[in-house]
Structure 1
């Protein structure tokens, strides 16, 4: 008995998106960048509301106000650091300047796990399907331990460990995420990704870059098709039909639309590109949409307060 297939659709209106891009551009310009959090949220709301699965659209519930406080803190920090570096430079304190720059970038790198964890937690809590929110149920300490362990192995192997590094972090994020009464699992292995990457590097060199498009498709399929969904113990598979030819045509089309319209067609090119990656996806299995219920661990009060407590504005600048 064949599994029931539910394809994703990306139903967009290029006219509406153009108006959104124009509005965001002028408001960001007139507010000297302070409108960026609201622009990010409006973009996410438009994209999510255009994605359809089984007759229902996704939705994004974040607000610009929630991002703004964190964004403002980051803005003040960068202005302060810039003035500090300028002061050291004008006073000839080159050694102290060099040390300060190294410390600053080291702190930026050390903040990555905080940024990744909180951005994912916020975006999951603010994304819904059929009025049911996604939920990321992992504390920062658990993610930090995983990130640090994988980071040490990455450095000790001179980045050869990268396929395992990115695979294991993806597994941590997915395995602690759910939507309604559906659990999400990532079953990809680092060794599989290593083989894909090694093959991609070798064949790309042999074919003078031609294989790069198929390599990109293979990596995308690896991450998508290793996501498994479980509802009441039943497995639901994620399938991707994307191929190297699709990506090649997308790159050529994207470039031509952008160049021939002197950049004016960029928003349309972006939407067509998103449409390709979304509409080559589907889920296969016996999904019971009628019994789709909210996750038992979902806390509405927690979600409502999340924006003010996590400094998600970091997501607005990274």
Structure 2
């Protein structure tokens, strides 16, 4: 794989701010109804301005389709609220049903998002099975809880395997596999910061209860805890993303991620400060900066001519209708 195709983001904050502010205002005026169309406009902007090998991505869902799905969810919540007040046992059964259906909803959501996404006019698809989703998103989390999170890397690896391995571009399937060692390495290094932050916080609070401790003392405690959590999270995200991309293939083609802990941490902290001190008005700029950083640190590694590969995708892609209607918005949890 001596050829490298760099991902790039060609959008800018000024353009996206115009889209963002209209989305916010119309969502407020319509009491949230327009938010479905706002989501489509946002995803289209970021997809259509992300390129690799001179070809961009695209998003094909419609606001109407997303709105219908959201109305169904809102209707279910209203019924649940009514049942909670009138027939609590029925509400409990509804809550249990939703919990048990969660892996099924994950698969349906992944299928919706994949089938409504494309690269260079070739649609993605998601072929992950519901049975496997139950093992990954319900069975393994129980194991993690029973083992006091010491087996979390197995859940993390299984999530990547299921999410990445379930996707296709045209009829070409993505694949991911890895030993467990790199996941434990990222887990243990980040855990040092998580555990250290919580130990420092509770050690500072040990002088009294939360009701009697000095407010300044609580503030200092959070100044110890929050940076430790952010640093630990940045370490884990950077290490896992780089490892996952290095071990992911699309047919005979590979990928590479080169984000650094320092670069990602600096971006997260400056974006947070920019957003807070601008009272949210510079959120579009922060989002564009994050997307551009991720694209600039992602490469495709074609094994052969990218034009030959694209021609094969066009020829072999399955027929996937634009009007595929399904649930959206449930995250697979894969490193992207």
Tell me the number of residue pairs that the alignment of Structure 1 and Structure 2 aligns: 297
Q: Displacement of 1:296 after TM fit?
A: 3.7
| Residue 306 (structure 2) aligns with | 289
What is the alpha-carbon distance in structure 2 between the residues aligned to residue 259 and residue 305 of structure 1? 39
1:275 has 2:292 as partner: yes
| Residue 169 (structure 2) aligns with | 179
Aligned-residue CA RMSD (Å): 2.7
| Residue 49 (structure 2) aligns with | 50
1:166 has 2:166 as partner: no
Provide closer, same or farther for how the CA distance between residues 287 and 106 of structure 1 changes in structure 2, counting only shifts above 3 A: farther
| Residue 322 (structure 2) aligns with | 304
Offset from partner CA, 1:230-268 (integer Å, 9 cap, x none): 2xxx3x221111111101210232123223323211111
1:67 has 2:66 as partner: yes
What is the alpha-carbon distance in structure 2 between the residues aligned to residue 43 and residue 165 of structure 1? 31
| Residue 34 (structure 1) aligns with | 33
Aligned with residue 248 of structure 2, among 207, 227, 244: 227
Assess if the C-alpha contact under 8 Å between 2:116 and 2:322 holds in 1. Answer: no
Matched ranges for 1:36-185 at <5 A? 36-85=35-84, 87-88=85-86, 97=88, 102-144=92-134, 147-180=137-170, 182-185=172-175
| Residue 218 (structure 1) aligns with | 239
TM-score (norm 2): 0.78
| Residue 15 (structure 1) aligns with | 14
1:199 has 2:220 as partner: no
What is the alpha-carbon distance in structure 1 between the residues aligned to residue 180 and residue 283 of structure 2? 36
TM-score (norm 1): 0.82
| Residue 216 (structure 2) aligns with | none
Q: Which SS does the other structure have where 1:294 is aligned?
A: helix
What is the alpha-carbon distance in structure 2 between the residues aligned to residue 118 and residue 266 of structure 1? 30
Larger CA deviation: 62-71 vs 148-157: 148-157
What is the alpha-carbon distance in structure 1 between the residues aligned to residue 196 and residue 144 of structure 2? 27
Offset from partner CA, 1:186-222 (integer Å, 9 cap, x none): 1134443123201221256569738524343212223
Q: Structure 1, unaligned stretches of length 5 or more? A: 89-95
Q: Structure 2, unaligned stretches of length 5 or more? A: 198-223, 332-336
Q: Displacement of 1:105 after TM fit?
A: 4.1
